[in-house]
């Protein structure tokens, strides 16, 4: 089936938009939920709720029965799409981290968000590995990485795991590329090991407690029972993000690679825990935001999709203020997942920015073609 046939209705995105609404005046979840219900009643009545859940479940097949197996995604990677050698590293907490490590030269660490994995960066890896050492890990519970028993998949726990990964890999002079939850996680790593960090490549993300109403409503909805049910039933959270978060249409084979880590219902908790964390990780996010002064002297390349339903101009301009030594590249036809929508523009921007911003040449050789 062509992926364009499964595009999610704009109802949800319209409801969550902040562009026509003022800021929320209260941090209380009940106030936000009440405001959301008012919008739903006025514009679509309560039946819009059913429309949203139906959209989340669009294209679903019969769910597989819950199993008692450990929360370890197991699937066959399509090497025609992801032709990189899989490597693994065991962390102190018992997690087994899958990562790819391609090329040689200055290090770029590619950090994904929800509900993706290192597959998201396949185009950038191909375009950058001729000039850089490109490392792309999967968080525990995502992609081909496995989580230990009792792992809770919170943002703080994922950040601690990735910090351990950086330490065990002994990565230095690292340029960290962040997008979605990769932002808070990547900046938390950088604040823990500032001497290991050289610069940042910042995609559509954030790194502070929630402030805009739309984000709070989204967290309440997708992190609450609708998101939990959609995830359990039919991998609905993944389906929503892949539809709403990209301007281009994925092929069936690409779509399958994003669904594969969460094929079994008992592997899908991480996909709805991250949305819940938008609310629940306030303490972690506040700590990350408070630590920015130690990083603000680093050069930053900001590559920003203008069609993102989640992170827009307010987030971008804050990053521009946080990093005075920045360069911004606006991606006019890119949505939330800029790595899928604009890999050529991003890779070209990185190759131009790095020697100019950091005063270094890269490891020169002919780049590999995809």
- Domains in the chain: boundaries: 1-60+77-360
Q: Residue 70, CB half-sphere, CA atoms under 13 Å: how many?
A: 14
Q: Residue 67, CB half-sphere, CA atoms under 13 Å: how many?
A: 13
Asked if 106 and 201 touch (Cβ cutoff 8 Å), the reply is no
- Exposure string over 75-101, b if 16+ CB within 10 A, otherwise e: bebeeeebebeeeebebeeebbbbbbb
According to the model, what pLDDT value does residue 361 have? Answer: 57
According to the model, what pLDDT value does residue 63 have? Answer: 34
Angle at 351 between CA 345 and CA 355, to 5 degrees: 145
290: CB partners within 8 A, 6+ apart:
none
Say how far apart CA 75 and CA 98 lie, in whole Å: 13
176: CB partners within 8 A, 6+ apart:
108, 109, 111, 186, 189, 190, 197, 199, 200, 201
Omega before residue 115 within 30° of 0, cis: yes
Measure the N-to-C terminal CA separation of the chain; round to a whole number of Å: 25
Structure token digits, residue 123: 């185009």
CATH architecture of 1-60+77-360: 3-Layer(aba) Sandwich (3.40)
Alpha-carbon distances of 195 from 79, 108, 214, rounded to whole Å? 36, 15, 36
SS3 of residue 364 by DSSP: coil
Catalytic residue annotation: 180, 308, 336
| Ramachandran assignment for 79, one of left (phi > 0), alpha (psi -120 to 50 degrees), beta (any other) | alpha
Say how far apart CA 99 and CA 165 lie, in whole Å: 10
The tens-digit pLDDT sequence of the chain (370 residues) is 445 434 443 334 333 333 333 333 333 433 333 343 333 334 333 333 433 444 444 444 333 333 333 444 479 999 999 999 999 999 999 999 999 999 999 999 999 999 999 999 999 999 999 999 999 999 999 999 999 999 999 999 999 999 999 999 999 999 999 999 999 999 999 999 999 999 999 999 999 998 877 777 777 777 778 778 888 989 999 999 999 999 999 999 999 999 999 999 999 999 999 999 998 999 999 999 999 999 999 999 999 999 999 999 999 999 999 999 999 999 999 999 999 999 999 999 999 999 887 776 554 444 444 4
């Amino acid at each position: 089936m062509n992926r364009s046939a499964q595009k999610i209705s704009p109802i949800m995105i319209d409801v969550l938009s902040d562009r026509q609404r003022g800021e929320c005046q209260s941090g209380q979840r009940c106030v936000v939920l009440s405001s959301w219900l008012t919008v739903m009643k006025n514009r679509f009545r309560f039946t819009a709720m059913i429309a949203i859940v139906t959209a989340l479940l669009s294209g679903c097949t019969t769910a597989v029965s819950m199993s008692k197996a450990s929360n370890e995604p197991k699937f066959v990677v399509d090497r025609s799409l992801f032709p990189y050698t899989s490597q693994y590293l065991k962390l102190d907490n018992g997690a087994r981290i899958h990562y790819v490590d391609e090329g040689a030269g200055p290090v770029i660490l590619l950090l994904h968000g929800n509900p993706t994995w290192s597959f998201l960066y396949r185009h950038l890896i191909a375009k950058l590995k001729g000039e850089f050492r490109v490392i792309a890990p999967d968080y525990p519970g995502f992609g081909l990485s496995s989580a230990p028993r009792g792992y809770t998949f919170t943002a703080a726990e994922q950040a601690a795991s990735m910090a351990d990964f950086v330490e065990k890999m002994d990565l230095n002079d690292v340029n960290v590329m962040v997008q979605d939850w990769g932002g808070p996680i990547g900046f938390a790593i950088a604040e823990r090991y500032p001497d290991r960090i050289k610069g940042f490549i910042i995609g559509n993300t954030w790194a502070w407690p929630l402030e805009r109403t739309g984000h709070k409503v989204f967290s309440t909805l997708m992190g609450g029972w609708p998101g939990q049910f959609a995830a359990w039933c039919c991998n609905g959270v993944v389906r929503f993000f892949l539809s709403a978060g990209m301007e281009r249409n994925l092929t069936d084979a690409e779509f399958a690679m994003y669904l594969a880590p969460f094929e079994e219902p008992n592997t899908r908790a991480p996909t709805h825990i991250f949305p819940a964390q938008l609310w629940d990780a306030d303490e972690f996010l506040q700590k990350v935001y408070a630590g920015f002064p130690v990083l603000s002297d680093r050069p930053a390349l900001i590559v920003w999709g203008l069609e993102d339903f989640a992170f827009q101009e307010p987030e971008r301009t804050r990053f521009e203020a946080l990093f005075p030594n920045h360069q911004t590249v606006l991606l006019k036809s890119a949505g939330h997942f800029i790595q899928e929508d604009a890999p050529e523009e991003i890779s070209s921007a990185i190759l131009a920015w790095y020697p100019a911003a950091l005063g270094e040449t890269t490891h020169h050789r002919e780049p590999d073609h995809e």
